[in-house]
Structure 1
Amino acid sequence: MLSHGERTPLVNLGTNLPGGAAGGGNGSSGRRLTWFEAIAASPRPAVVDHAAHGDRVELSGRVLANWAAKTANLLDVEGHGPGSTVLLDLPLGWKSLALMLGAARARVEVRFAPGTSVTPDESGSVDLVVSGTPGAWSEHPAELWAVSPGTLMALEEPEPWGSSDAEVPPHALEYASEVQMQADQCHLPLPGTSLPALVEAWEDLAATGPGDDAGLALPRWSHRERGLVVAAAGGRLDRETARAVVGTWDRGLPVVLVPERDTDLSAASARLVDAERVGSPSRLPGDAR
């Protein structure tokens, strides 16, 4: 269930994913669970997003997998699967993480757009652009999906599109409305590799100019004993952040998004992190970003 405001303590997702620290979990029949099945089997928090409008949005493993299944089904219906390349131009947020997991479930290749404008020539050959600023891609030859701003905590009350870059071109598909019509279960074949290995093979587009954080070495995430804290404000979903997130899920741990620009947290966000009980910082590779 997608919840707002509840304070469920963050704990281990309940079963480590295949390839994770404990070597994977088993189902009731004794068969080893795939990484997607392991996420889907967990009623415990996988993502908690504090980054939008001061609200707390929690997705259990089951709900995250449900969103990913719907996204994979939508990709399949629109003709995108193995061999397709999808460009994700998205800010950090729970919906972006669900979209990323859905792309992995559909076995498409993913590229991540930087926070700067990218022309069609610079984006290379892609089949689909998924963007929170669809107006910026209105002339791109690829198919276009528009992802509304914010977290859309109530899909029945979508937030208004703001700048001209965020306006929806007539040919764009609105993700929030279309994904709701998809089945909750995905029957596409699962990838034959681990989730971290899939993300490792994905790519970032090269930035073409200074972004919002140009010249700043912002630590975007902090590994904790029982989870990952991600500073989401102003951040983009890129390959390195995706690797940190899926590596955390692979260890059976949750991801917490906070409304900060770096992990030198304000007192308010430090209290949020303490309340989520993800523990003290731990020294794992990739902490400094």
Structure 2
Amino acid sequence: MNASDLTPADLLRSALAADPARPLVTFYDDATGERVELSVATFANWVAKTANLLQGDLAAGPGDRLALLLPAHWQSAVWLLACSSAGVTAAPGGDPASADLVVSGPDTLEEARACRGERVALALRPLGGRFPQPPAGFADYAVEVPSQGDRFAPYAPVDPAAPALVAGGLELSGAELVERARSDAAGLGLTAGSRLLSGLGYDSWEGLSAGLFAPLAVGGSVVLCRNTDQLGAEGLRKRVESERVTHTVR
């Protein structure tokens, strides 16, 4: 990626300019059998639509904190990059009561109700499907996001020195996040074209880095796996082979 990239959103823009067709995030849920593969271009389109939802409909911007109550999932990765694009601080597993808005999966809705700001719910169903019945007090992401614009421009430039991520006891600016992701990538031996399989959750920096930021920082890609305990050793070996995985973190 470019040395001038100072935020995760910059990294995504560079990836899009370099090779929009290559896979960026491949997601597996071994409890349901779901597999989703997103190219750089498709992922960037989801990010743009989500950032437009954030900035436009939810009126979120620099200085706001978003509690992200989602597991490791391709849609979680989209929200992380959308927050970076709009200058919103993402707090995976953060306290909804102290957040300006909250994004929740189906298993954390009651906890998310503590947020007094805007609330968005994700069903986390295959292919980004909606809730059969929208949860009371929440906007259904799958209903709201399709109509959003395919291009995003922040109302004001995002400051790389502003808080971008709060996770695992760390508070990182956009520039610090990018620097740390590059350092992690070097430590893992990742380079352009590397394909990392991660079975870690998004509740720690290690999981966020391996499951998104480190591969993105060097022009690699991630195979993000949920519920790998149901896969077994032989199943994992076959996945590594079929997905052309070069590095594994579990």
Q: Normalising by structure 1, report the TM-score.
A: 0.65
Distance in structure 1 (CA, Å) of the matches to 2:168 and 2:116 = 17
- Partners of 2:12 and 2:216 within 8 A in 1: no
Distance in structure 1 (CA, Å) of the matches to 2:67 and 2:41 = 26
14, 18, 25: which one aligns with 2:2: 18
In structure 1, the partner of 2:166 is 203
Structure of greater Rg:
1
Distance in structure 2 (CA, Å) of the matches to 1:130 and 1:86 = 7
Deviation of the 1:154 alpha carbon: 5.4
Distance in structure 2 (CA, Å) of the matches to 1:154 and 1:172 = 16
Q: Please show how residues 156-235 of structure 1 align to structure 2 within 5 Å.
A: 158=130, 160=132, 168=135, 170-188=136-154, 191-193=158-160, 202-204=165-167, 223=188, 226-231=194-199, 235=201
Question: Over the residues paired in the alignment, what is the CA RMSD in angstroms?
Answer: 3.1
In structure 1, the partner of 2:83 is 103
Distance in structure 1 (CA, Å) of the matches to 2:102 and 2:139 = 10
In structure 1, the partner of 2:37 is 58
1:39 has 2:23 as partner: no
Q: What is the number of equivalent residue pairs in this alignment? A: 218
Structure showing the higher helix proportion among its residues: 2
Unaligned runs of 5+ in 1: 1-16, 25-32, 115-121, 162-166, 207-221, 282-286
In structure 1, the partner of 2:183 is none
Deviation of the 1:139 alpha carbon: 3.9
Give identity over the alignment, percent: 29
234, 241, 246: which one aligns with 2:213: 246
- Partners of 2:202 and 2:208 within 8 A in 1: no
Unaligned runs of 5+ in 2: 170-186
Q: Normalising by structure 2, report the TM-score.
A: 0.75
Give CA-to-partner distance per residue, 1:54-108, whole Å, 9 cap, x none.
2321100011111111111000011101111111010111111111111111110
Deviation of the 1:265 alpha carbon: 6.0
- Pair 1:148–1:260, CA change in 2 (3 A): closer
- SS for the counterpart of 1:183 is coil
In structure 1, the partner of 2:176 is none
